Amino acid sequence: MGKYFSKYRVLTFDCYGTLIDWERGIWDALQPILTENNRLDLTKASALQQFAALESNQQGASPTMRYSSVLQTVHARFAFDNQLATTDEMNEKFAKSIADWPSFPDSSDALCTLQTKYKLVILSNVDRAGFAASNRKLGVEFDAIYTAEDIGSYKPDLRNFKYMLRHLSADFGFEKCDVLHVAQSLHHDHTPARKMELANVWIDRQNISRGATDWKESNFGATALVDEVPETDFVFYTMEEFARAAVG
């Protein structure tokens, strides 16, 4: 299958949900407030969907806010919406939890394999410090890292993709036809990628493409829902599967 990927020279990655298991990280980081308030009735699915909506709203309202501050604000709002007692210290601890979010077991090896053939670039909705902590878990030196902190907006804003393409051209000489965007999130990545006419790979870790008759009943986890599933050029269910196909 490697022949289908031979025309691409650079792989651009979303990080959280694709390479880093942010849903596990977020859910673990919510445990202190749930335990403190004896609210074990709040399920993981419900909590993550609330997080997704709150995060998306906050990023849209405050596009220049650093991601650590977004997380702090979201935790406080999550507490308010669910009538949970919280403190500034608990809100701040949740914001700092990004450093503890684990990588998916297949991410590091897959990236090492892909790096033998492609340039690897990150386009992420975090700040530099947050990604640096995650990068240590991935164990790969990326050729370029573009964060929301650098750009001043959050995906799915097309500004983020325009910034990435502009810098890939200026810094490496890559054109749009050289780029293959790899991501899990339909909302943050694939919808805007298609608007930008970028080739894309869906790492469908939640098996949405294999899901229920009504795809909107699928598990979207910590990602905001989309009105319709955007077109994707390739679908894989793990990074390991993608790396094997892309390197051939």
Catalytic residues: 14
**How far is Cα 54 from Cα 47, in angstroms, rounded to an integer?**
11
Q: Yes or no: say if 55 and 148 are a contact pair by the CB < 8 Å rule.
A: no
Q: Yes or no: say if 5 and 114 are a contact pair by the CB < 8 Å rule.
A: no
Q: Return the half-sphere exposure (C-beta side, CA atoms, 13 A cut-off) of residue 162.
A: 7
Q: Is 113 helix (H, G, I), strand (E, B) or coil?
A: helix
Q: Where are the alpha helices (DSSP H) in 119-209?
A: 128-138, 148-151, 158-172, 191-195
**How far is Cα 188 from Cα 57, in angstroms, rounded to an integer?**
13
**How far is Cα 179 from Cα 186, in angstroms, rounded to an integer?**
18
Cis omega (within 30 of 0) on the bond before 102? no
Q: Yes or no: say if 3 and 48 are a contact pair by the CB < 8 Å rule.
A: no
Q: Which residues pair with 180 in a beta bridge?
A: 11, 199
